[in-house]
Structure 1
Amino acid sequence: MDERRRESGFRERTRIDDARERLRGRVSTVERTETVPVADADGRTLAAAVTARRAVPGESRASVDGFAVAASTTFGASDRSPALLDADGDVGDGGPTGGARRVDAGDPLPSGADAVVPVGGAALVDDTVEVFDPVAVCDGVAAVGSDVAADQSLYEPGRRLRPPDLGLLRAAGVETVTVRERPRVAVVPVGDDLVDDEPGPGESVETDSLTVIRLVERWGGVAERHGPVADDAAAIAGALRDAATDADIVATTGGSGLGESDRVPDALASAGSLFVHGIAATPGESLGLGSVDDTPVVVLPGGPAACVVGAMQFLRPAATWADGREYEEPPTGPAMLARKVPSEPGVRTYVRVRFDAEGGQRVAVPIRTDGPLSHSSVGLADGWIEIREGIEGLPEGDLVAVQRWGWSP
């Protein structure tokens, strides 16, 4: 790295949208597929179209609680002159002395029935059903295939299955589906001072990889930890090449800045390519993007907040694209800003907030931080406010959109 750059900082910072677009061109859709039981397919992305194997319902059923009848036996019925049907008789008898059977919604229709009189349209008196409201054929009935027809197309490739989808598939006789394999993400924490156990003087417990791995799992991928790796360019380059062998995406944590010990950018450039280093965002300015052997690499900063910002803005889109889906921004909810928040023009700012209540209204209270290593400012946040590049801060009392980054898509 140019020593002048170490001394002067990031003179040029790439805007988030531009950097994300560069990353988009390096991410390949996972073409590996597998067949899984429908019960295990929640959140999986279809790799093949799915059609119904059977009609739903497979037989005519009552769609309301009431009395199954032959519709012809109720013609002319009224409050003054109800149709009188035998509660114990055969529904198919027909005529004014035909039968009626009590059914609940979802019950199969008895033989001869072609309609259901709702509970409010009839009354059971001794062994006779008095019908006050006449019904037509198919009233109160879910006919065969009225919900789903046999061989009906249900879902196309690229759909990410949800729990209600699984219920429909099971009802339609689909037992297994072909889905894309989950994108594989290799997470490589970097730092001489990182330990997994009780830290000694000058050491820190490595936590970023845990955060990133669990986020990847929420986004539908699978993640594997490599390392930690020491602050040595050659060791980092070797770890990157090794991680890229079996991964669809590689993410590093830490060592991304301009300090003497920040060796990841140099190592990535030597092992493959580094096409972005420094983004116009805070926190997260030192994020980098590159590739090794055609595998995209997201270089995440080591601070807890900057790491999460980088993961949300770049690793999540990459995992989504690898899964064959389009990226969507996190959902937001409205809240009133408790106090003004400054921001730098030209820089996208992410403000951690906690929710409070005031006069029955949700209030977003910015969390004060004590530097880039503050875990509590991330772990205690209910959401984040995104201030776009063209806005110079937000005033107190402003109605803001709070992103819910804990959400699982």
Structure 2
Amino acid sequence: MSDVRESGFKERTRVDAAREKLLDIAPIDRTERVSLSVCDGRTLAAPIDAARNVPHYPRAAMDGWAVRAEDTFGASDRSPAVLRPGDSVGPDTATRVHTGSELPEGADAVVMVEQTEQLAGELEVFDAVAEGENVAPVGEDVEAGQRLYEAGHQLRPSDLGLLKATGIDEVDVVAEPEVAVIPTGEELVQSDPAPGEVIETNRFTISRLAERWGADVTRRNIVTDNHEALRAAVQRDLTRDVVVTTGGSSVGERDLIPEVVDELGEILVHGVALKPGHPVALGRVEDTTVVMLPGYPVAAIVNAVQFLRPLIKYLGRMPLNPPPTREATLSRKIRSEPGVRTFVRVTLEESVSPHDTEESSGEHGEPRDTGLEATPTRASGSGVLSSVALADGWVVVEESREGIPEDETVAVQNWEYHE
């Protein structure tokens, strides 16, 4: 680690290259059987076939009368077919049915109630129906044995309803990645900070994000900046898939966690070309991946989104969907360093035309809404948590650019959306 301390991150790994090294492992092969009530968002470990037909009986698709179709042939407004209402269906007889009710034996069609009229104990039918009309046959929705989903499918609420309808109450899914979150730093406290002390927030924030991304999270107590204490903390959680530490990832005298991981296993990356939060480190100890996040809250969040999120998704065989974005016009210039991927927090407001002209005004002469305007937050330091919490998203400035000029259309990424 001496070389890193002396260099002070003169060479930083590009974000994409760092992520590639991080994901150079096999995904989880553990599976578990869970009930439908708790498997929304989970990834199927095996294909699923329908256990029964849906519907499992022929049913009326409309409110009306169950009939034999042949008894209605030629029926019209001027010359209705005349049937006898009854409790069963036979030649020239009909019985009342409701949407979803079982089609009576002997019936093969349903006449809609609005196409009939009862008079003096007789049923007049004003519309001829064909065999099977207004009837949902057995298996119309799903046939027993039909392949519904392949392994790797991420279950959605609509999927759960379909599975329940076909007689399935439990499914085999990929186990959730197990993640331990360890906050580090001798200055951290849980409440009532004295001068020089800091309320610890990273464990809470990063844990909740990891759970939202699909992980099974264990929250650990604060570990002080002590080599042996840090070593013991990492070793304790080597049964997990991922260990996340917050704080102590840079190159100062108290930044010990990369050195500990290097002793126990290997450092894959230390220092990434992104801002805020370049002092992130990524490593591996035995079969456990270690993500060493910076202690500053904004830097920790940025790196968690860039590295921990894709790691959790990959390990759990979940799709890594890009966060949603909204287009907006930049209200003032963004500065960035070439070769560094920069994440600029912004707020969004509806923008209006400043000129009250026929072209720019609304129906009553008011300024017309012309879209969204993105304004970079004034407080942008990596330790300013409010710059993320009170922002509407961030703009990603790629490594190939040196800033973005005012009035350019940008994509504002909603990285915190609920997946």
TM-score, normalised with respect to structure 1? 0.91
Q: How has the CA–CA distance of structure 1 residues 92 and 275 changed in structure 2, closer, same or farther, with 3 Å as cutoff?
A: same
- Which residue of 253, 262, 265 maps to 2:246? 253
Specify which of 68, 89, 93 is matched with residue 86 of structure 2. Answer: 89
Secondary structure of the corresponding residue to residue 335 of structure 1: strand
What is aligned with 1:300? 293
3-state secondary structure, aligned to 2:412? strand
- Rounded to whole Å, the distance in 1 between the matches of 2:197 and 2:240 is 29
Taking a change above 3 Å as real, the CA distance of residues 343 and 370 of structure 1, as seen in their structure-2 partners, is: closer
Instruction: State the distance in 1 between where 2:14 and 2:172 align.
Output: 38
Partner of 1:273: 266
| Alpha-carbon offset, residue 29 of structure 1 | 2.2
Q: 1:76 is aligned with what amino acid?
A: G
What amino acid does structure 2 have at the position aligned with 1:364?
A
What is residue 99 of structure 1 aligned with on the other side? 94
- What is the DSSP-based 3-state SS (H/G/I as helix, E as strand, rest coil) of the residue aligned with 1:241? helix
Q: Is residue 362 of structure 1 aligned with residue 392 of structure 2? A: no
Q: How does 1:1-400 map to 2 (within 5 A)?
A: 1-2=1-2, 5-6=4-5, 9-26=8-25, 28-86=26-84, 88-89=85-86, 92-94=89-91, 97-104=92-99, 106-118=100-112, 122-126=115-119, 128-244=122-238, 246-358=239-351, 359=369, 361-400=371-410
Q: Secondary structure at the match of 2:235?
A: helix
**Residue 64 to residue 350, structure 1, CA distance change in 2 (3 Å):** farther
- Partners in 1 of 2:135 and 2:337 — Cα distance? 63
Give the CA RMSD over aligned residues: 2.1
In the aligned structure 2, how far is the partner of 1:46 from the partner of 1:153?
13
Q: Is the 8 A contact 1:68 1:103 kept in 2?
A: no
Instruction: Report the CA distance shift for 1:344/1:123 in structure 2 as closer, same or farther (over 3 A).
Output: farther
Give the drift of 1:57: 0.6
Tell me: CA distance 1:264–1:114, structure 2 relative to 1, closer, same or farther (3 Å). Answer: same
1:354, 1:383 within 8 Å by CA — same for their partners in 2? yes
Larger CA deviation: 378-387 vs 290-299: 378-387
Structure 2 SS opposite 1:93: coil
Q: 1:338 to 1:59 in 2, by over 3 A?
A: farther
Aligned length: 401
Indicate conservation of the 8 Å contact 2:245/2:291, yes or no: yes
Secondary structure, in 3 states, of the residue corresponding to 1:202? coil
Superposition deviation, residue 130 in structure 1: 4.0
Question: Which segment drifts farther, 109-118 or 266-275?
Answer: 109-118
Q: Is the 8 A contact 2:90 2:107 kept in 1?
A: no
Code of the residue aligned with 2:13 in structure 1: it is T
Percentage identity across paired residues of the two chains = 48
For 1:55, give the aligned amino acid: N
Secondary structure in structure 2 of the residue aligned to 1:384: strand
Note if contact 2:275-2:342 (Cα within 8 Å) is conserved in structure 1.
yes
SS at match of 2:54: coil
Give me the whole-angstrom Cα distance separating, in 2, the residues matched to 1:151 and 1:102.
Answer: 30
Unmatched segments (≥5 aa) in structure 1 = none
Contact 1:92–1:112 (Cα < 8 Å) also in 2: yes
Distance 1:306 1:84, change over 3 A: farther
CA gap 1:84/1:383 in 2 versus in 1, 3 angstroms? farther
How far residue 298 of structure 1 moved from its aligned partner, in angstroms, is 0.9
Distance 1:253 1:119, change over 3 A: farther
Shift of 1:186: 0.9
Residue pair 1:284, 1:306 contacting (<8 A) in 2 also: yes
Contact 1:91 1:101 in 2 (8 A): no
User: Which runs of 5 or more structure 2 residues have no equivalent in the other structure?
Assistant: 352-368
Whole-Å Cα distance in 1 between the matches of residues 83 and 400 of structure 2? 75
The amino acid across from 1:383 in the alignment is: G
Shift of residue 290 of structure 1?
Answer: 0.6
Per-residue deviation, 1:213? 0.7
Q: Deviations over 1:181-234 (max 9, x none)?
A: 211001111111011122111111111011111111111111112231112233
- Structure 2: which amino acid aligns with 1:80? R
Distance (Å, rounded) in 2 between the aligned partners of 1:65 and 1:333: 46
- Give the conservation status (yes or no) of the 8 Å contact 1:185–1:250: yes
- The Cα shift of 1:43 comes to 1.9
CA displacement 1:50-95 (0-9 Å, x = unmatched): 2221111111122334443322222222333233334x2356323x
How far is the alpha carbon of 1:128 from its aligned partner?
A: 4.8
Counterpart of 2:366?
none
Residues 203 and 172 of structure 1: CA distance in aligned 2, closer, same or farther (over 3 Å): same
Separation in 2, partners of 1:202, 1:236? 22
2:299·2:383 contact (CA, 8 Å) conserved in 1? no
Provide the secondary structure at the position in 2 that maps to 1:312: helix
Structure 1 position 326, deviation (Å)? 4.0
